[in-house]
Chains A and B, each alone.
Chain A
Amino acid sequence: MPKIQFYNEKNYETIYLKKGDQKKLLSEFLKNFLKEMQSTKKS
């Protein structure tokens, strides 16, 4: 079976993150995730 080929590669997004950004994003994720868990529990 032929494998699917990618085309239009220029359209691909790539993200550029600084090292400090990684920590910030993780901490925001954690903060919001815990908040969401709490509110689902209540509801």
Chain B
Amino acid sequence: MNLPQSLPITNRFIEILVIQLGSRSELIQSLIAIQLIKKFYPELAVSILIQGKYIKIVQRISWIHKVIALPEKILKKLCFSDSLKILEQWILPYLKNIWDFLINWTYSESSSYLATLLPARVKIGYTRKKDFSFLINDEWSYYIKNVIQKNIQQNIHLIDIFFTQLLRALQIHVGAPMDHLPPTENSFHFFFNHKELEILNHLPPSKKWISLQINLENAPSVLKLEDWAKLTHYLLENHPDYSIVLLGHFKDPLISQNYMKTLQSLTPLSHQVINLLGKNNFDLWAFFIYCSQWLISNDPTALHLASLLNTQVLSFLPMKFKAVPYGDGHYIIETKKTSISPEIIYGTWAYVEAKKAYTWKVSLKAYFSQLGWEKQLDSYRIYYSKMRPVAQGGGLTYQPLLVQPLSFTSWSSRVISDLAKAWYTGYTPLKNELLAGEVHPELIQNLQSLEKCLLQLHQICQQAIDIATKLDQKSTQILSFHIMKIEDQYEIDIWIRHLKKLEKKIHQLFEHFPTLNVFYQLLKIKMEFHSEHRPEFGKEVLKAYQHMRHGIQVYQTWIQNTVQLTQPCFVEKIHHLNFLYH
């Protein structure tokens, strides 16, 4: 297939194809990112390639231009050669269309082949080279491969990565977004048909709803079924203005029966619960999440769906899941333990509700001691989500509601996230968002030894920059790297040898400090030089070490700001007390 090298493209919609062949949760996160980007570039025509089984999720969304569904159910049933024939037929119409941008947000081995096959002018995400070897074209995709897919703790929400990645590509190839953004419709009716929306009119207007999405499959030990019933009991007994919708995709009818039995034994108010456990209808599910004021859940897909539908979320998942709702004002409970108590969930929710109703200044800890549950708080981390202003780098941040000592690994994860933003978007962190209460002597000790390591690293980096500058200057002076004076050749060889020695030293330093491993991984990509004997080599090395110096500076600023939090504040001498000093 030969495509013309340059096509006349003016005054028309920009056509984007997003490949999202991942899970339902990843699909919803992609939709949120598309929705965000459409606010900045309203004239994008975004099509999406998904697994056929998720067609219901996207079919009614008006801001999705075209939905392409993979017939994966048929492919799984047939033998390989028959499946291949089906696939060849299926893909044929899509090979004729040349998209302006192809964004592969699946980040899987298989999708990289599909991304190579589909014609587009700009490709982002995993693709393949001409010899079919693996290819990554952009830096955020490196970050996904080397940090997120390696399960390294980091602090940037996947939706922010998707959004920034696409925004950057559009800024480079299309231009800056419109200055005056048109007002966007704040309605989420795109998911529903008229019949469903009519039900909304029949619901009592004074009644508020809480959706409880029960997930026992992926996180069996987080909240037991009887504890879900206990949580429902707390909510019904203490908040008569709320009714409960029970959601959960179960095949076993016994789960629903057991839940109701337990609830009936706890409260006479069980009739105030709409029980939709086991009803696997997507429209119904999305509709009730949309109607609810709150979603309380440990289900990653549900909390992303609620984020998309602008429903406030209280999520509780073990740390390993790393799924957090997107947007302002959600609450996140994290636990290291295998189980969570219903009291912690209820107490946190009730605290947030009380804060909404009264202008309170009571802390969460004080509220829990009023309830008599303060001892339970120790094994949890509780955060609320906040969108950072664009001037401060944008994106989602997590503010602790419960101040607890910060581990060195968590500290490092925040630095890495800032570093990625500094490298890939040009954002320079103004200040870190740590609280004094999070800093403790053990962390300071770790930071002091890190500072020593960074100092050495900085010295080596500076030497490398000096050599690379010379190399770069020499490259501009000589006409060809194949024909040059012997003394020039000699000088270049010495510099290259010196650079290699410095690289070895850097490697050894990083080995001594495993916490810097992510920094090293991200740096290594920048230091993959193709050949030493090319005129661009000096420039490439110089750029890589300048990046490294920038990274070291980000770390040093973080250390400085963290240490400063522990130092006593300077208190101005009060003049009227001057007599005390005389």
**A contact residues vs B (CB 8 Å cutoff):** 1, 3-19, 22-37, 40
Main secondary structure on A side of the interface with B: helix
**B contact residues vs A (CB 8 Å cutoff):** 1-7, 9-14, 21, 23, 41-43, 72, 75-76, 80, 83-84, 87-88, 91, 95, 98, 100, 108-111, 113-114, 116-117, 119-123, 128, 130, 132, 172-175, 182
A residues near B83, Cβ cutoff 8 Å: 30, 34
When the two chains form their complex, are residues B1 and A19 in contact, meaning their CB atoms are under 8 A apart? yes
Expressed in whole angstroms, the Cα–Cα distance for A11 and B117 within the complex equals 19
A residues near B114, Cβ cutoff 8 Å: 25, 29
Other CB < 8 Å A-B pairs besides A10-B6, A14-B3, A36-B109, 11 of them? A3-B43, A6-B14, A9-B6, A11-B172, A13-B123, A16-B1, A29-B114, A30-B80, A30-B87, A32-B108, A37-B72
A41 shortest CB reach to chain B, Å = 10
- 8 shortest A-B CB distances, which residue pairs? A32-B110, A12-B121, A29-B113, A33-B110, A14-B3, A6-B9, A28-B113, A25-B117
B226 shortest CB reach to chain A, Å = 27
When the two chains form their complex, are residues B113 and A32 in contact, meaning their CB atoms are under 8 A apart? yes
Given the interface contacts A25-B117, A25-B128, A27-B84, does A5 sit within 8 Å of B175 by beta carbon? yes
B97 shortest CB reach to chain A, Å = 14
When the two chains form their complex, are residues B121 and A13 in contact, meaning their CB atoms are under 8 A apart? yes
- A17: nearest residue on chain B (CB-CB)? B1
When the two chains form their complex, are residues B116 and A15 in contact, meaning their CB atoms are under 8 A apart? yes
When the two chains form their complex, are residues A15 and B172 in contact, meaning their CB atoms are under 8 A apart? no
B residues near A18, Cβ cutoff 8 Å: 1
A1 shortest CB reach to chain B, Å = 7
A38 shortest CB reach to chain B, Å = 9
B134 shortest CB reach to chain A, Å = 12
When the two chains form their complex, are residues B88 and A13 in contact, meaning their CB atoms are under 8 A apart? no
When the two chains form their complex, are residues B3 and A16 in contact, meaning their CB atoms are under 8 A apart? yes
Given the interface contacts A4-B175, A16-B3, A37-B72, does A32 sit within 8 Å of B109 by beta carbon? yes
B318 shortest CB reach to chain A, Å = 15
Given the interface contacts A22-B1, A26-B91, does A37 sit within 8 Å of B76 by beta carbon? yes
Expressed in whole angstroms, the Cα–Cα distance for A11 and B6 within the complex equals 9
B residues near A17, Cβ cutoff 8 Å: 1, 116-117
- A26: nearest residue on chain B (CB-CB)? B87
When the two chains form their complex, are residues B10 and A15 in contact, meaning their CB atoms are under 8 A apart? no
Given the interface contacts A16-B2, A25-B117, A26-B113, does A33 sit within 8 Å of B21 by beta carbon? yes
When the two chains form their complex, are residues B100 and A8 in contact, meaning their CB atoms are under 8 A apart? no
Expressed in whole angstroms, the Cα–Cα distance for A24 and B14 within the complex equals 30
Expressed in whole angstroms, the Cα–Cα distance for A18 and B2 within the complex equals 8
A9 shortest CB reach to chain B, Å = 5
A2 shortest CB reach to chain B, Å = 9
A residues near B109, Cβ cutoff 8 Å: 32, 36
B residues near A7, Cβ cutoff 8 Å: 174-175
Most buried by B among A3, A19, A26: A26
Among B108, B121, B174, B182, contact of A4 (Cβ-Cβ < 8 Å)? B174
Among B12, B91, B117, contact of A3 (Cβ-Cβ < 8 Å)? B12
When the two chains form their complex, are residues A22 and B10 in contact, meaning their CB atoms are under 8 A apart? no
Expressed in whole angstroms, the Cα–Cα distance for A17 and B511 within the complex equals 43
Expressed in whole angstroms, the Cα–Cα distance for A33 and B84 within the complex equals 12
A residues near B5, Cβ cutoff 8 Å: 14
When the two chains form their complex, are residues B110 and A6 in contact, meaning their CB atoms are under 8 A apart? no
**Can you name 21 A-B residue pairings with CB atoms under 8 Å?**
A3-B11, A3-B43, A5-B175, A11-B122, A12-B122, A13-B122, A17-B1, A19-B1, A22-B95, A23-B84, A25-B116, A26-B87, A26-B113, A28-B110, A29-B113, A29-B117, A32-B108, A32-B113, A33-B21, A36-B109, A40-B23
B37 shortest CB reach to chain A, Å = 13
Expressed in whole angstroms, the Cα–Cα distance for A27 and B114 within the complex equals 10
Expressed in whole angstroms, the Cα–Cα distance for A13 and B6 within the complex equals 9
Given the interface contacts A14-B119, A29-B110, A30-B87, does A4 sit within 8 Å of B3 by beta carbon? no
When the two chains form their complex, are residues B117 and A22 in contact, meaning their CB atoms are under 8 A apart? yes
Most buried by B among A11, A12, A31: A12
B163 shortest CB reach to chain A, Å = 18
Most buried by B among A8, A9, A40: A9
A6 shortest CB reach to chain B, Å = 4
- A27: nearest residue on chain B (CB-CB)? B84
When the two chains form their complex, are residues A9 and B1 in contact, meaning their CB atoms are under 8 A apart? no
When the two chains form their complex, are residues A30 and B173 in contact, meaning their CB atoms are under 8 A apart? no
A33 shortest CB reach to chain B, Å = 4
